Structure 1
Amino acid sequence: MQLDFFPSRTLTVYIARMFAVRIVAMMIVLIFVLMALDLLGRTGEILAVEGNGQAEILEYIALRIPELIQRFLPYSVLLATLITLVSLNQNSEVISMKAAGLSAHQILAPLLLTAAVISALLFTFNETVVWRTTGVLKAWQANDYAPIEAESGIRSNIYLTDGPNILMARRVTGEGPQTVMEDVTWYRRNPQGILAEQIRARRATYADPGWLLEDVERFDVASAEGAEGSDTIIGREVTFEQIELESVDPEAQSFGELSESIDAYQSAGRRTSELEAKWWHKISGPLSAFLMPLLGSVAAFGLARSGQLFVRAILGMALGFAYFVVDNAALAMGNFGGYPPFLAAWAPFLLFLLVGETVLVRTEE
């Protein structure tokens, strides 16, 4: 038996090239299908804005594709793993390699090497492209696909507190005294914490102190009656710093910028568990591509003529998709403090690394 981790150079290049081609092919297929489905729901919203046309649809595609690559490249690696290993098994190439003295780990080594390169490329792609396009796309969507300036600074769905009261704004633009909130809702609660009144306004501007609501509609909870109201000032304790902190979007910030946002939250005495979990996940997320060959390796072994190859492929796919389910669940738990941030981001990866290694060792080694 060879003691080297990798098989011969020729065999390594042969398997790695086969695997890489299938990753690219699966990624193209997934992007084409998912983009087509996405456009079915978005095209009408984009074209509903006066002046929008084919150019805006193409712009949406250009902004959306990086998100799809970020999210579904690990899925492509999983599917490519299954296709590659099933093909090698059906052609008796796995049997030949094992007869030559290669272990299961040596057979998988070219796939793991390729997946490691894919993980590094995905992390680089996220840090150079994805966070920028995500920020632009979210700002455009917050403006209902109407034209926006490149540096408009639009932030969406901001929630602020002023004692027991809550201020929600669908869009926020500008900075400092020039800050403008749009589609504003003010929830006024009584000292017992019960909702007493809801005020909706088209726009809110800084009133020094407080925020001046314009085009006001009031709804009294006790009487269940609504009526138009005059412009009013609310949220005297809401500051610009609160708005800046509340508008932090981890998906629209790079690794370094998110680190600075976490420091700012900590300096303000704010809870940072959600941001820290997303910070760690910016590393563990791309590494999920490295895990896929190990989880799908069960499809490589066993006799193709035994009738269990299809079952093994399904098992490998199930392990891969189970990882993504557990990863999303753990990240959600970390967002509201159920798990520590590090555990929320890394526990699924380490768990399924052990699961994949255990299955491989017990069945083939």
Structure 2
Amino acid sequence: MQFEFFPSRTLATYIAKMFAVRIVAVLLMLVLVLQMLDLLSESGKVLAAPGNGQSELLTYVGLRMPQLVSRFLPYSVLLATIITLMTLNQNSEVIAMKAGGLSAHQVLAPLFLVAAVTSLATFAFNERIVTRSTTTLKAWQNVKYGPIPQESAIKSNIWLQDGPNILFARTVSGEGNAMQMGGVSWYRRDPTGMVTEIVTAPSATYAKPGWTFRQPVLFDVQSARKVALEADQVYAKSVEPVQVVISKVDADAESLTRLAGSIGAIREAGFRTTELDGKWWHKISGPLSALLMPLLGAVAAFGLARSGHLFVRAVIGMALGFAYFVFDNAALAMGNFGAYPPFLAAWAPFVLFFLIGETVLIRTEE
């Protein structure tokens, strides 16, 4: 029996259902409260755009809620772990299970199973829903909650260096040689850095090299004269599509495979990708944080409830869980600065707290 992960199917089902229900309840509570607070802070900006009303507020909620669910699901697993184990301990169910010959790991086994399923669901949810809602929401915020851009992969407000000159695009869509820009402006600068000419156009396409401005309009700064050019013109010949990728890679808004492609393009161009590498690995290690929560909160399951130390043990479990999140964010930040290798920055907190949780559990209960 000691070598069976689930000695009793009935007991495992009972604990797993209890744990799953508490995860959902805690998550709903956190998301609803945080969504209301977030909506209060953003509703003024949403309604300030002409024509926006209640439907736009609901659209904002629909785009923001997946981000909140993804961010606070691990916290929900931690709190649900504490609540579930405290309930089992107070009702002397943990004592009954241990008296029946179950080890501490076997008592926690149903929680690990639910947490593993939660981790997989979180990863899929992030890849399929959160990245898309983040992309749309950021594009909507870039246009100050005006009409939502139709292109899902759109990038907004891009500034690019063209030698001494500057290229600006209000929107960029597409990839590689098929990339297109909208609302483009090209600023010619003299050796002192002063702008001498401004060329604007409603759209531009990649001309290999340079960008073909459609229906360009030239504004001469010195004479303050505006002239509509008769033919399309090519400008910004030193700007390539890869520079757009480099300037506007948002790891939160890209899926794992798409982010890998962006990293490859940036690396081929000879630029540093340490920060993005760390975020790529964290897209895998982040959802797995839910798998750690039953282990870190396990101290609340054991020890006699009547001793009066149950609350202290619950606080210790909660402190271990929140310490993991603090260390995880700190390690990722250090990785972004280059202090840690990307792989180590993403996985070191998980491995460290797994060892801490196992050490505490083995030394105190096994």
CA distance in 2, matches of 1:228, 1:143: 32
Is residue 212–residue 235 contact of structure 2 (8 Å, CA) maintained in 1? yes
1:259 aligns with 2:272: no
1:9 aligns with 2:9: yes
1:266, distance to aligned residue in structure 2 (A):
1.8
1:298, distance to aligned residue in structure 2 (A):
0.8
Tell me the residue number matched to 1:112. 112
1:179 aligns with 2:181: yes
Is residue 242–residue 265 contact of structure 2 (8 Å, CA) maintained in 1? no
CA distance in 2, matches of 1:65, 1:55: 15
1:77 aligns with 2:77: yes
Letter in 1 for 2:171: V
Tell me the residue number matched to 1:359. 360
Q: Deviations over 1:184-242 (max 9, x none)?
A: 999x9999xxxx7799x9978769958999999x9xxxxxxxx99888x9976333331
Tell me the residue number matched to 2:140. 140
Between 1:27-36 and 1:255-264, the stretch displaced more is: 255-264
Distance 1:93 1:156, change over 3 A: same
CA distance in 2, matches of 1:341, 1:132: 25
1:83, distance to aligned residue in structure 2 (A):
0.2
Structure 1: state its 5+ residue gaps.
219-226
Between 1:240-249 and 1:296-305, the stretch displaced more is: 240-249
1:59 aligns with 2:59: yes
1:253, distance to aligned residue in structure 2 (A):
1.4
CA distance in 2, matches of 1:319, 1:180: 49
Tell me the residue number matched to 1:246. 247
Tell me the residue number matched to 1:26. 26
Tell me the residue number matched to 1:223. none
Tell me the residue number matched to 1:37. 37
Is residue 242–residue 266 contact of structure 2 (8 Å, CA) maintained in 1? no
Identity %: 58
Q: Secondary structure at the match of 1:151?
A: coil
Q: Deviations over 1:126-154 (max 9, x none)?
A: 12211111111111111111012321654
Tell me the residue number matched to 1:309. 310
1:2, distance to aligned residue in structure 2 (A):
2.9
1:271, distance to aligned residue in structure 2 (A):
1.3
TM alignment of 1:200-215, pairs within 5 A: none
Is residue 143–residue 171 contact of structure 1 (8 Å, CA) maintained in 2? no
Is residue 142–residue 170 contact of structure 1 (8 Å, CA) maintained in 2? no
Tell me the residue number matched to 2:230. none
CA distance in 1, matches of 2:262, 2:357: 36
**Length-normalised TM-score, structure 2:** 0.84
CA distance in 2, matches of 1:258, 1:317: 33
Tell me the residue number matched to 1:278. 279
Letter in 2 for 1:302: G
1:99, distance to aligned residue in structure 2 (A):
1.2
Between 1:295-304 and 1:206-215, the stretch displaced more is: 206-215
1:156, distance to aligned residue in structure 2 (A):
3.9
Is residue 154–residue 171 contact of structure 1 (8 Å, CA) maintained in 2? no
Q: Deviations over 1:303-356 (max 9, x none)?
A: 111111111111111111111111111111222322111111111111110011
**Pairwise CA RMSD:** 3.4
Tell me the residue number matched to 1:222. none
1:267, distance to aligned residue in structure 2 (A):
1.6
CA distance in 2, matches of 1:185, 1:359: 62
TM alignment of 1:282-301, pairs within 5 A: 282-301=283-302
Tell me the residue number matched to 2:229. none
Distance 1:160 1:362, change over 3 A: farther
Structure 2: state its 5+ residue gaps.
227-233
CA distance in 2, matches of 1:18, 1:79: 13
CA distance in 2, matches of 1:203, 1:82: 60
Letter in 2 for 1:172: T
Distance 1:93 1:133, change over 3 A: same
Between 1:11-20 and 1:324-333, the stretch displaced more is: 324-333
Distance 1:329 1:190, change over 3 A: farther
Is residue 136–residue 148 contact of structure 2 (8 Å, CA) maintained in 1? no
CA distance in 1, matches of 2:199, 2:73: 41
Letter in 2 for 1:5: F
CA distance in 2, matches of 1:280, 1:62: 27
Distance 1:314 1:247, change over 3 A: same
Q: Secondary structure at the match of 1:286?
A: coil
1:281, distance to aligned residue in structure 2 (A):
1.0
Count of aligned pairs: 349
1:151 aligns with 2:154: no
CA distance in 2, matches of 1:170, 1:18: 53
Between 1:280-289 and 1:258-267, the stretch displaced more is: 258-267
Is residue 173–residue 181 contact of structure 1 (8 Å, CA) maintained in 2? no
**Length-normalised TM-score, structure 1:** 0.84
Q: Secondary structure at the match of 1:179?
A: strand
1:16, distance to aligned residue in structure 2 (A):
0.4
Q: Secondary structure at the match of 1:2?
A: coil
Letter in 1 for 2:7: P
